[in-house]
Amino acid sequence: MDLELYSADDRFCMKLDQDDALLGSYPVDDGCRIHVIDRSGARLGEYEDLSQVEKFELSQSAYESRTDSVRSFLKRSKMGKFNEEEQKRREAEAAQRLADEQAQAQAITVGSRCQVRAAGQPTKRGTVMYVGLTDFKPGYWVGVRYDEPLGKHDGSVNGKRYFECQDKYGAFVKPHTVTVGHFPEEDYGLDDDEM
């Protein structure tokens, strides 16, 4: 490649052609630009179509037989999915979490007034509209219709409707963040007809 130095008012100054020279040894000031001329012969967009790039592929059996692979290291070290005890412990923890969520969810009934306290967010009030498993994420979820437009959706996620509400009034939260009880809608005194 060739490098050319242009001044702030876009006038050619000089070629930067000394390979052993530092950039500071040239008269580069604020506003100058360095123009790069590609002499490699590469065509514009030559490598943008990835279907034209030959890919290295290794069969599963060939990869399995290698001793210098990540999989081989994990097996030798009994790490990750190759550590049966760790995998069983994780599965047991996941099953316990699911059982705990299920017990919490069973204590929440659809139609109840509730208060939601999620970490890092203000406390929100609303009505429980859905309790159960969902298609969008594993575990038990509580669908809440908030009193104010503090939600994320209208009761549907990824095209599946779980409950009905206005847009931005619906949200799904984990059961441990929901407290069911007497939580009437808050009156901020902002109604126009009271003035």
- Mean pLDDT, rounded, for 163-178: 95
pTM over 0.85: no
Q: In this structure, what token pair is assigned to residue 46?
A: 């030559």
Handedness of CA 90, 91, 97, 100 (dihedral sign): negative
What residue spans define the domains of the chain? Answer: 2-37, 106-180
Runs of H (alpha helix) within 47-182: 60-65, 70-77, 84-106
Per-residue confidence (pLDDT) for residue 192, from 0 to 100: 57
Q: In this structure, what token pair is assigned to residue 108?
A: 């929440």
Assigned CATH for 2-37 = 3.10.20.90
pLDDT digit string, tens, across residues 59-90: 999 998 999 989 899 888 888 888 888 889 88
Which range (51-55, 112-116, 150-154) has the least confidence?
A: 51-55
How would residue 189 be classed by pLDDT, with cut points 50, 70 and 90?
low
Per-residue confidence (pLDDT) for residue 144, from 0 to 100: 96
106-180 CATH choice from 2.130.10.10, 2.30.30.190, 3.40.50.300, 3.30.420.10: 2.30.30.190
Which range (22-31, 43-52, 130-139, 152-161) has the least confidence?
A: 43-52
Q: In this predicted model, which residue has the larger pLDDT, 83 or 192?
A: 83
